[in-house]
Chains A and B, each alone.
Chain A
Amino acid sequence: MMQELIYALPLTLIFILSIAVIMVDAFTGKNKTVAYYFSIAGLLGVIIAAIYTMTLPSADLAKMAYEGTISKGMLTYGGYAAFFDILFAVAGILTIVAAKPYLTREYGEYKEFYSLIIFAISGMMTIAHASNMVTIFIGIEIMSITFYVLAGFIRTRITSVEAALKYFLLGSFASGFLLYGMAMVYGATGTLQLQEISAKIATGEIVNIYLQIGLALLIIGLSFKVAAFPFHQWAPDVYTGSPTVVTGFMSTAGKAAALVAFIVIAKSLLPTNFGATLINDKLIVVKEFTENATMIIALISAATMLIGNITAIAQKNVKRMLAYSSVAHAGYLMMGIVANNENGFAGIVFYSTAYMLMQIGAFVVVGVLERDDTKFQQISDYSGLRKSHPYLAAVMALFMFSLAGIPPMAGFPGKYLLFTATIQSGYTWLTIVAVVSSIISMWFYIGLVLNMYFKEKEGDALVADVKSSHFTIAVSVIGVIILGILPSFLIDLAKNFF
């Protein structure tokens, strides 16, 4: 029991922290700095705990029910779970630091924000640690419900409330599909534990029709959560209406968490290791069916990146353009699931880290420059930024180059990994679509850079309100450059996870 708690230390800590921050908030009254620093310190503690669980040996857990799990097969520990713990905690720290000046300026700093961010992180970490349908569902719901609140955080502003309403209605609609899928998979296999499900599918002890319906519903539900075509329509509206710092957090950490759920489910429901000796008629049907399901995910991925990038070209608003580019990135990331091998999953781990840094950085720059919700968000407002704010223009250009996948920024090795993994598993056409759509994406990423550097601004220059956002921007820039120049460390680490 005690040992299990130690193995789940990051998860234990984040749940204690999420309750503790509310308590600190309640007892410190008007003093806002305590809750702020307490949240950051707590998240740093979670990062240390996650690094510690990565180093723990797994040998003495042989008595546990399934390999690599604790608490009777409900949770995993170490490996990719610990890595994603670190990723989510870092995203939380970057968001909290950048949110303080943003919220003070736009709405007033309310301390609930910090506890809400930590609640969202606790949901994401539950997903990362999940090895049972119940834990996946609980994690997704903790995360989503917190995001509904965060999207509508500025509750007197109509766009924010509208974003919250749209996100809430469509998000819980999607949860219904996800849940129905889980119920059908449970009916097909008779268990909710993912390793058991995987074993049963590989030996063919299932009710085929329920599994097919279940997997189709799960793909619908998860596509909603990662904002993939044809269920992406909520994403641009929600990302535009939400407070900009929240958008940065939702579109990176939230997307990474939904993708972890996708990885965990795809790994167990689409097994590739059918034993050659076991082949019988029933198993051939299952094998054919999983191949078809992978094909459907490949089609969704291809359509997502094309639609996301083509629609982004038409946008005039930088925040909305980034929202569509985030839809396109969901498509790139889903290529790793299509590849369905360790290289593909390692590609997802690497690219979601790189994507987290560059997208949070870009949204923070937008948040620093915008005023009163919608002012100064147009692409034309950014012209002449080189003269008025050379530093902000330079980092924004860096993030744009990284999002477009130009070396030596972190976006390039990430895309390279995903593309090669997809070719390895025989989906060459998907890689061609991905390359074409990243060339399309150059249009608007480079367009923004051209606007900042080679156009003169008419009227007054923008006013930047950076303050502590400097920290977030600096960390993102350093991370993007280091991951771009020395990607092998993280790639090797990620390949050992799966």
Chain B
Amino acid sequence: MIQQIPLEYYLLLSAVLFTIGTVGVLTRRNAIIIFMSIELMLNAVNLTFVGFASFMGNNAGQLFVFFVMSVAAAEAAIGLAIVLALFRAKKTVYVDEVNLLKW
């Protein structure tokens, strides 16, 4: 008999992915890798949404995922443009070298 994978497994996986993303944002110094970590966080949340939606038999969560994906695409366009503008102005993508603004 095939057993269904319990909901907790999905939630645990997405929590782990979200944590990896958070740690990535907090520890890495390359703007593009930080950005990739943020995308990982968003996709971890998508997994939570799909898991809940599937287990509750309610497709509002799956619908939300489409919105999240399109927002993530828009964010990618803007984010890479900003990194490009930074590289043109300063020839670096490392965030610890970008430190003009501080009190």
> What residues make up the interface of A, taking CB atoms closer than 8 Å to B?
133-134, 137-138, 141, 145, 148-149, 152, 155-159, 161-166, 168-169, 172-173, 175-176, 179-180, 182-184, 186-187, 190-192, 236-237, 240-241, 311, 314-315, 320
Pair A190/B56 contact, Cβ less than 8 Å = yes
Q: Which residues of B contact A152 (CB under 8 A)?
A: 82, 85
CB distance from B103 to the nearest CB of A (A): 7
Pair A165/B83 contact, Cβ less than 8 Å = yes
Pair A134/B45 contact, Cβ less than 8 Å = no
Q: Which residues of A contact B63 (CB under 8 A)?
A: 134
Determine the distance from Cα of A179 to Cα of B98 in the docked complex, in whole angstroms.
28
CB distance from A89 to the nearest CB of B (A): 23
Q: Which residue of B lies closest to A374 (CB)?
A: B100
In the complex, number of A-B residue pairs with CB atoms less than 8 Å apart: 124
Determine the distance from Cα of A190 to Cα of B55 in the docked complex, in whole angstroms.
10
CB distance from A316 to the nearest CB of B (A): 9
Interface residue? B1 (CB, 8 A): no
Determine the distance from Cα of A277 to Cα of B44 in the docked complex, in whole angstroms.
40
The interface bits of chain B over 33-50 (1 if a CB of A lies within 8 angstroms of the residue's CB, else 0) are 011001001101100110
Given A148-B79, A159-B101, A168-B75, 5 extra CB contacts under 8 A? A137-B67, A162-B86, A168-B78, A176-B38, A180-B44
Interface residue? B60 (CB, 8 A): yes
Pair B89/A176 contact, Cβ less than 8 Å = no
Q: Which residues of B contact A157 (CB under 8 A)?
A: 89
Determine the distance from Cα of A233 to Cα of B31 in the docked complex, in whole angstroms.
18
Q: Which residues of B contact A175 (CB under 8 A)?
A: 42, 71, 75
Q: Which residue of A lies closest to B26 (CB)?
A: A173
Pair A315/B61 contact, Cβ less than 8 Å = no
- 6 nearest CB pairs, A to B: A176-B41, A187-B52, A183-B48, A237-B101, A179-B45, A141-B71
Enumerate B70-103 residues with CB–CB distance to A below 8 Å.
71, 74-75, 78-79, 82-83, 85-86, 89-90, 95, 98, 100-103
The A interface, classified by DSSP as helix, strand, loop or mixed, is: helix
> What residues make up the interface of B, taking CB atoms closer than 8 Å to A?
11, 18, 21-22, 25, 31, 34-35, 38, 41-42, 44-45, 48-49, 52, 56, 58, 60-61, 63-64, 67-68, 71, 74-75, 78-79, 82-83, 85-86, 89-90, 95, 98, 100-103
18 sampled A-B residue pairs with Cβ under 8 A = A137-B68, A137-B71, A138-B67, A155-B85, A155-B89, A158-B100, A161-B89, A162-B86, A168-B78, A169-B31, A175-B71, A175-B75, A176-B42, A183-B48, A183-B64, A186-B49, A240-B101, A241-B100
Determine the distance from Cα of A180 to Cα of B40 in the docked complex, in whole angstroms.
12
Given A156-B89, A173-B25, A192-B60; A168-B45 close (CB under 8 Å): no
Pair A183/B45 contact, Cβ less than 8 Å = yes
Determine the distance from Cα of A176 to Cα of B46 in the docked complex, in whole angstroms.
10
Which among A145, A180, A192, A240 has the greatest number of chain B C-beta atoms within 10 A? Answer: A180
Q: Which residue of A lies closest to B90 (CB)?
A: A158
Determine the distance from Cα of A148 to Cα of B98 in the docked complex, in whole angstroms.
16
Determine the distance from Cα of A240 to Cα of B101 in the docked complex, in whole angstroms.
8
Given A165-B95, A183-B45; A190-B58 close (CB under 8 Å): yes
Which among B48, B52, B60, B82 has the greatest number of chain A C-beta atoms within 10 A? Answer: B82
Determine the distance from Cα of A141 to Cα of B49 in the docked complex, in whole angstroms.
18
Determine the distance from Cα of A399 to Cα of B75 in the docked complex, in whole angstroms.
36
Determine the distance from Cα of A141 to Cα of B74 in the docked complex, in whole angstroms.
9
Q: Which residues of B contact A241 (CB under 8 A)?
A: 100-101
Q: Which residues of B contact A159 (CB under 8 A)?
A: 100-101
Pair A134/B56 contact, Cβ less than 8 Å = no
CB distance from A423 to the nearest CB of B (A): 34
Q: Which residues of B contact A145 (CB under 8 A)?
A: 71, 74-75, 78
Residue in B11, B31, B38, B78 whose beta carbon sits within 8 Å of that of A149 in the complex: B78
CB distance from B49 to the nearest CB of A (A): 5
Pair A162/B78 contact, Cβ less than 8 Å = no
Pair A169/B86 contact, Cβ less than 8 Å = no
Determine the distance from Cα of A182 to Cα of B101 in the docked complex, in whole angstroms.
33
Given A186-B49, A314-B103; A164-B85 close (CB under 8 Å): yes
Pair B38/A169 contact, Cβ less than 8 Å = yes
CB distance from B86 to the nearest CB of A (A): 5
CB distance from B77 to the nearest CB of A (A): 9
Determine the distance from Cα of A241 to Cα of B100 in the docked complex, in whole angstroms.
9
Pair B31/A162 contact, Cβ less than 8 Å = no
Q: Which residue of A lies closest to B49 (CB)?
A: A183
Pair A164/B82 contact, Cβ less than 8 Å = yes
CB distance from A402 to the nearest CB of B (A): 25
Pair B86/A187 contact, Cβ less than 8 Å = no
Q: Which residue of B lies closest to A241 (CB)?
A: B101
Q: Which residues of B contact A155 (CB under 8 A)?
A: 85, 89
Pair B52/A186 contact, Cβ less than 8 Å = yes
CB distance from A115 to the nearest CB of B (A): 15
Q: Which residues of B contact A158 (CB under 8 A)?
A: 89-90, 100
